Amino acid sequence: MTIDSREVPAALSSRPRRLRVTERLRALVRENRVSAEQLIMPHFVLPTDRAEDPIESMPGISRYGVKDLVQRVLADAELGIRAVLLFGTPPDGSKDERGTPASSPDSAVARAVAALKQQVGDEIVVITDVCLCAYTSHGHCGVLRDGKVINDETLPLLRETAVAHAEAGADLVAPSDMMDGRVAAIREGLDEAGHTDVGILSYAVKYASAYYGPFRDAAESTPAAGDRKAYQMDPANVREAIREARLDEQEGADMLMVKPALAYLDVVRAVREETSLPLATYNVSGEYSAVKAAAERGWLDEAAVVRENLGAMVRAGADLIITYHARDALQRGWL
Ligand code: PBG
Ligand code: ZN
């Protein structure tokens, strides 16, 4: 018997390609969409009024002084970016063993929150990262003794930091330290200070990832010695993600996060199926910079890749996406 490739099957009734014929048809049957309302833009704030300092390892991203940050956020709001996540840098020479400058009422983050809230009110959701690593002399996310990060001694410091951000006017605080019990400690601190309406977006599921490399340059938060594997999660684990998510929900988290995003979309899906809380995923610095670097060399079509990546996060079950691509995606019409 000879196989004739020109032979047409008599009755091929099921043809999925029928719905792919035109862009109009494809749009009509598209299952998932990414919208501007889901995006959260991260920012790095410097402890000064005026500054714009490009981050070499993150093309297109700069660290801003408080006033320049406000200008940037206002301009981005015109594009439709209505939520920001703020990371701070302490004044030169102020880092110490316990990360004291993190909870200062006039930290860069606290000043930026106050300035933003004064300018934009409730038009923009202001979220603050709560951690100590940018403020400790050793660069770890908690109190360090004999090379170990001491969980329970770190909790009051995180709590004070979250309260300082709430006092400045933050809508949500986002603890990224991975200490056990920190959501409960922060919730209690916020409530006792009268901030019952300030929510917690917990970095519930945060892996010890190599994709944070460019961020650590930007935030100057690389540990001086050792790594974060004794507190951040092992990339091999997914059942543990469910355990972390449940604990944070029980402790009073209002939203959960899985971080990083792209290499962990199975985890996003698994957590999505376990919780009814809104779920965010963090498209981290290394994921951003890898796309940028390849695009700069002409090796990838940046628009198409960013659309595909953000779309994959939504398809996996993310309600919100924290991404450095937010501005480009909206300004250049990539969604
Ligand atoms: C600090 C923190 C990190 C990120 C967010 N908060 C780095 C780390 O844990 O080492 C990573 C963000 C990114 O890579 O974009 N706790
Ligand atoms: Zn940290």
Total domains in the fold of the chain: 1
With respect to residue 178, please indicate whether it lies within any of the assigned structural domains.
yes
* Domain-located, residue 241: yes
Q: Would the CB of 329 count as within 6 Å of ligand 1? A: no
Residue 180 lies in a domain: yes
Name the DSSP class of 96: B
Q: What CATH number is attached to the domain comprising 50?
A: 3.20.20.70
Contact call for residues 221 and 194 (beta carbons, < 8 A): no
273 C-beta neighbours (distance < 10 Å), count = 9
Show the tokens assigned to 317: 């079950």
* Rounded Cα distance, 158 and 102, in Å: 8
- 7 in any annotated domain: no
What is the spatial distance between Cα 129 and Cα 89, in angstroms, rounded to a whole number?
A: 11
Domain residue limits at 103: 34-331
Task: Look over the chain and give the mean of its residue pLDDT values, rounded to a whole number.
Answer: 96
| Stated pTM of the model | 0.96
Residue 219 lies in a domain: yes
Is residue 280 one of the residues assigned to a domain? yes
Residue nearest to atom 2 of ligand 1 (CA): 176
Within a domain: 99: yes
Per-residue pLDDT tens over the stretch 254-293: 999 999 999 999 999 999 999 999 999 999 999 999 999 9
Q: What's the gap in Å between 290 CA and the centre of ligand 1?
A: 16
Q: Percent of the chain at pLDDT above 90? A: 94
Q: Which atom of ligand 1 is nearest to the CA of 286?
A: 14
Average pLDDT over residues 12-27: 96
Q: How far is the CA of 138 from the centre of ligand 2 (A)?
A: 11
Q: Establish whether 229 is a catalytic residue.
A: no
Residue whose Cα lies nearest atom 14 of ligand 1: it is 212
Residue 250, pLDDT > 80, answer yes
178-199 burial, b at 16+ Cβ within 10 Å, e below that, comes to bbeebbbbbbebbeebebeebb
From the list 67, 206, 229, 292, the catalytic residue is: 206
pLDDT at 1 over 60: no
Residue 221 CA: nearest ligand 1 atom is 10
- Nearest atom in ligand 1 to the alpha carbon of residue 212 is 14
Atom 7 of ligand 1, nearest CA residue: 212
In a domain, 103, yes or no: yes
